[in-house]
Amino acid sequence: MDPEPGLRSLRIESLRNIRRLDLAPDTRTLLLTGANGAGKTSVLEAIYLLARGRTFRGTKAGPLTTQGEFYTRVEGRYQPSDRDVVRLRYVKEGATAVRDIHPPLWAETGGADWRSPLQVKLVGENAQILLDGDPSLRRRFLDWNVFHVEHRFAQVQKDFTRVLMQRNAAIRSGGSQLGLWDRRFIALAESVDRQRAAFHAEWRTCFLDLCGDYPFLHGTDLRYRRGWPDGRELGETLVALADQELARGYTLAGPSRADFRIDPGEGRRGFSRGQTKIVVALLQLAAERVHRAHGREPVIWLLDDLEAELDRTLAERLWSAFGATGNQVIATRVATDGDPGIFGNTESLTMFHVEHPG
Ligand SMILES: Nc1ncnc2c1ncn2[C@@H]1O[C@H](COP(=O)(O)OP(=O)(O)OP(=O)(O)O)[C@@H](O)[C@H]1O
């Protein structure tokens, strides 16, 4: 039998307020409890650094490295579902961050960072920003998920971005060279769109299925907008936009204008903060279902204060949806007394109390 996939060990040195922490998350669910500011989110951040090589926190969170120290180091051992244990390390010294993986990335992955054997999906504070924020956030989210279904998407996307930049440069220099780029631009644009649309179709089906458990989501839909009008060719759209593009100085149609939207359904204007958080969590759960259906490695769920903003019924329902995936979960909860809250009935639960060092 294949071993149960999961993070087996984690060592953190000099990350935010954590000077040193060793963890052996040897169960399916690890619940980190502690007071506000104890460092729970920083533990999730450490795992995210190992998986993605970058933080999920913005500059407002301040420097990653503990004040007075010169480097941050995170090391972990991850057991994939069908291979030997992989060791991962992230080291940041000043502005330089290096992440390495042993054995090196699997041959078929081509070494790209986003194909790390350790995959995580986060539901964190500000989950709402995915729906309320800039469309570029949603495009990045969408593309990340498309990559994990179809690894070749990375190259298509890279080629498209290069041609988009060349096309934008041609617009800025008066447009006379545009014809040179448009054929290639359109071919790549259609290719990017095809792969995004294929992912969206599966993602939407899983999302709507998950919505069934939440009455406030009845009638909700997940729509994909490809970046140019339905029923129109991209070529004719670009012709129609030519003057505007020259005036604005960049491309106004195509995959760089794509987006996805949650349509709340008839008679509903929008969602509350807690409801939006549920929607974002379901988008993550639905994406994971698609990835698993395509034979991808299960992710580790990083659930930062899942209960925040949710009433007990919704929080329990959402937690059971994550628990039902069978994936490893590393969750946090504000509790000074070790109360597991909604995680109380979880099988195979380990708790770890994060203490503020000072
Ligand atoms: N570079 C740094 N050096 C030292 N301490 C830092 C640094 N950056 C952040 N901190 C502190 O580290 C702590 C990080 O807390 P973190 O957000 O991980 O806590 P938490 O347990 O998730 O809290 P909450 O429950 O309030 O979300 C904060 O107390 C913060 O002030």
Helix (H, G, I), strand (E, B) or coil at 288: helix
Q: Is the confidence at residue 1, as pLDDT, over 60?
A: no
CB atoms within 10 A of CB 213: 14
Q: What per-residue string of b and e applies to 300-333 under the rule 16 or more CB within 10 Å gives b?
A: bbbbbbbbbbbeeebbbebbebbbebebbbbbbb
The CA 5 to ligand 1 mean position distance, Å, reads 29
What pLDDT, on the 0 to 100 scale, is given for residue 105?
A: 63
- The CATH number that domain 1-119+297-357 falls under is 3.40.50.300
CB atoms within 10 A of CB 79: 21
CA dist., res. 73 & res. 231, Å (int): 52
Residue closest via CA to ligand 1's atom 9 equals: 16
Residues 144-156 have a mean pLDDT of 93
**Mutate-to-test residue for ligand 1 from 41, 70, 122, highest number of ligand atoms within 8 A of CB:** 41
Q: Where do the domains of the chain lie?
A: 1-119+297-357, 132-272
What pLDDT, on the 0 to 100 scale, is given for residue 111?
A: 43
Q: Which CATH class is domain 132-272?
A: mainly alpha
What pLDDT, on the 0 to 100 scale, is given for residue 114?
A: 53
Plot region of 33 (φ>0 → left; ψ -120 to 50 → alpha; else → beta): beta
> Do the Cβ atoms of 87 and 77 come closer than 8 Å?
yes
> Do the Cβ atoms of 107 and 255 come closer than 8 Å?
no
What pLDDT, on the 0 to 100 scale, is given for residue 92?
A: 97
Retrieve residue 17's tokens: 């307020």
- The fraction of the chain above a pLDDT of 90, given in percent, is 82
| pTM of the shown model | 0.94
What pLDDT, on the 0 to 100 scale, is given for residue 341?
A: 94
What pLDDT, on the 0 to 100 scale, is given for residue 255?
A: 98
* Confidence label for 358 from pLDDT (cuts 50, 70 and 90): low
Q: What is the mean pLDDT of the chain?
A: 92
Distant-in-sequence, close-in-space partners of 118: CB < 8 Å, separation ≥ 6: 7, 47, 50, 51, 76, 78, 86, 88, 300
What pLDDT, on the 0 to 100 scale, is given for residue 2?
A: 65
**Mutate-to-test residue for ligand 1 from 14, 17, 309, highest number of ligand atoms within 8 A of CB:** 17
> Do the Cβ atoms of 330 and 10 come closer than 8 Å?
no
CA dist., res. 251 & res. 192, Å (int): 16
CA dihedral 305, 211, 258, 241 (to 10 degrees): -130
**40 labeled binding residue:** yes
**36 labeled binding residue:** yes
What pLDDT, on the 0 to 100 scale, is given for residue 348?
A: 86
* Confidence label for 259 from pLDDT (cuts 50, 70 and 90): very high
CA dist., res. 3 & res. 15, Å (int): 30
Ligand 1 lining (C-beta closer than 6 Å): 16-17, 34, 36-42, 62-63, 65-67, 332, 334
Q: 49, 45, 43, 57: which is closest to 89 by C-alpha? A: 49
**Residue holding tokens 């999302």?**
207
> According to DSSP H, which parts of 173-307 are helical?
178-211, 234-248, 273-293
> Do the Cβ atoms of 254 and 228 come closer than 8 Å?
yes
What pLDDT, on the 0 to 100 scale, is given for residue 109?
A: 46
Cis geometry, peptide bond prior to residue 103 (ω within 30 degrees of 0): yes
The CA 242 to ligand 1 mean position distance, Å, reads 50
* Pairing of β 300-303 and β 259-263: unpaired
**34 labeled binding residue:** yes
| Rounded CA Rg of the chain | 22
Chain segment 95-133, per-residue pLDDT in tens: 999 998 888 765 444 444 556 889 999 999 888 899 999
What pLDDT, on the 0 to 100 scale, is given for residue 102?
A: 87
Sheet containing 86-93, strands listed edge to edge, beginning at the edge strand earlier in sequence: 18-23, 6-15, 71-79, 86-93, 96-102
Chain segment 263-311, per-residue pLDDT in tens: 998 877 889 999 999 999 999 999 999 999 999 999 999 999 999 999 9
Residues 314-318 have a mean pLDDT of 97
Residues 240-260 have a mean pLDDT of 96
**Backbone dihedral angles phi then psi of residue 155, each to the nearest 5 degrees:** -70, -45
The CA 29 to ligand 1 mean position distance, Å, reads 23
- The fraction of the chain above a pLDDT of 70, given in percent, is 96
Q: Is the confidence at residue 17, as pLDDT, over 70?
A: yes
The CA 11 to ligand 1 mean position distance, Å, reads 17
CA dist., res. 225 & res. 227, Å (int): 6
CA dist., res. 82 & res. 254, Å (int): 39
CA 248 from centroid of its chain's CA atoms: 32
Retrieve residue 95's tokens: 């502005």
Retrieve residue 187's tokens: 């071919």
Chain segment 67-78, per-residue pLDDT in tens: 999 999 999 999
